[in-house]
Amino acid sequence: MLAYVARRLGYGVLVVLGVLLLLFVLFFAVAKPEDIARRALGEKARQEAIDIWIASHGYDRPLWPWQQPADNQLFDHYARMLTFDFGRSDTDDTPIARRLAEGVGPTLSLTVPLFLVGLVIALLFGLFVAFFRDTYIDATGVFLCVLGMSVSLLLYIIGGQFLIGKLLRWFPISGFDPAPVVVARFLALPVLVGLLGVVGGDVRFYRTVFVEETGRDYVRTARAKGAGEMRVMLRHVLRNSLIPVMTRVVLAIPFLFVGSLLLESFFGIPGLGTLTVDAIRNNDFATLRVMVFIGALAFIGGQIATDISYAFVDPRVRLE
């Protein structure tokens, strides 16, 4: 077991190193430091100021180790990222770590409710539709899911702000405030809209899982023993579907940290998604590459956790 965990962790580290290499190629080798400097210094920056900026941010050093083994940007990039020394934003010089710390709270306060409510709704709705499989309720349910998946989140957001925020006046159209009661008001609408975008695909997936499970022998046996349909669904089908469900759920968790780019930026929630969108808009490569790195890190961590927990549950996995 321990050997498996060690192997899995080792591979995770390898992937992290791979991600960092990719980021380096994208953001150091392909992107030009002059562009970033000019953006940071403003319209009237003179060449001398740009040169100073580039030098002070270390962008003028050789890129690759074979050019200069001791002092190159590649090793530096690895060293900084792996020690979580993210440096400062290219646009306004604030420490990126600080902005991450500020953004985590608002992001989680959006994504955690979205995730939990979405999970419960998708599971319930999936069970419900599977329960009524091969009736018009099932057909309509699946149709609604496909319908929901065919619409851009952009349209949901625009429609939601217009209908619920402006016409019905249930919640503020956008904005954020960490104060206790008010925060719920601000989050209600983005969560509602976010659900529309997420639930369709999830329900369809869970339905397939449940329907597949109901076709199995043990379910037939349970039914033959006279167990009620409701009991069959909740006790047997739901329980035995947990592995595929859990896989999907665990894979979704890392995205909680990255946040939803569109939701956050449209609703003015100052989280990590907004941070990313701002970085994109301002060509703030320093922040952007940290965001990509953090996202990848969360994802890899999630995967390792899943794999190891599987290994605990199912001994066969370890031997693979």
Within residues 220-239, the interface with other proteins by CB under 8 A covers 229
Assess 242 for contact with other proteins (CB under 8 A).
no
Under the binding rule (CB under 8 A), the answer on residue 319 touching other proteins is no
Q: How far is the CB of 3 from other proteins (least distance, A)?
A: 19
The answer to whether residue 103 forms part of the interface with other proteins (CB under 8 A) is yes
Instruction: By CB under 8 A, name the one of 3, 70, 150, 226 that touches other proteins.
Output: 150
Query: What's the CA gap between 166 and 47, in Å, rounded?
Result: 49
Nearer to other proteins, 296 or 311 (CB): 296
In the complex, what is the shortest distance from the CB of residue 315 to other proteins, in angstroms, rounded to a whole number?
A: 22
Residues between 60 and 79 with contacts to other proteins, criterion CB under 8 A: none
Residue 51, interface with other proteins (CB under 8 A)? no
- Find the part of the chain contacting other proteins (CB under 8 A) among 2-10, 71-79, 133-141, 240-248: 133-141
246 binds other proteins (CB under 8 A): no
* Residue ranges in 5-24 that form contacts with other proteins under rule CB under 8 A: 11, 14-15, 18-19, 22-23
Q: Which of 2, 10, 42, 239 binds other proteins (CB under 8 A)?
A: 42
Interactions with other proteins, residue window 153-172 (CB under 8 A): 153-155, 158-159, 161-162, 165-172
Please identify, among the stretches 66-74, 77-85, 119-127, 265-273, the one whose residues bind other proteins according to the rule CB under 8 A: 265-273
The count of other CB atoms within 10 Å of the CB of residue 287 is: 26
Q: Which of 112, 277, 305, 308 binds other proteins (CB under 8 A)?
A: 277
Distance CA 35, CA 41 (A): 10
The least distance separating other proteins from the CB of residue 121, rounded to whole angstroms, comes to 11
Does position 305 interact with other proteins (CB under 8 A)? The reply is no
| DSSP sequence for the chain | -HHHHHHHHHHHHHHHHHHHHHHHIIIIIIS-HHHHHHHHH-TT--HHHHHHHHHHTTTTS-SSTTT-SSS-HHHHHHHHHHTT---B-TTT--BHHHHHHHHHHHHHHHHHHHHHHHHHHHHHHHHHHHHTTTSHHHHHHHHHHHHHHTS-HHHHHHHHIIIIIIIS--S-SS----SHHHHHHHHHHHHHHHHHHHHHHHHHHHHHHHHHHHTSHHHHHHHHTT--HHHIIIIIIHHHTHHHHHHHHHHHTHHHHH--HHHHHHHT--SHHHHHHHHHHTT-HHHHHHHHHHHHHHHHHHHHHHHHHHHHH-HHHHH-
Rounded distance between C-alpha atoms, residue 200 and residue 189, angstroms: 18
Could you say whether residue 152 binds other proteins (CB under 8 A)?
Answer: yes
Q: State the number of binding residues for other proteins (CB under 8 A).
A: 96
- Of 232 and 245, the one with the shorter C-beta distance to other proteins is 232
Cα distance between residue 93 and residue 310, in whole Å: 44
Binding mask 187-226 for other proteins (x = CB under 8 A): xx--------------------------------------
Pick one of 5, 26, 227, 250: the residue that binds other proteins (CB under 8 A).
Answer: 26
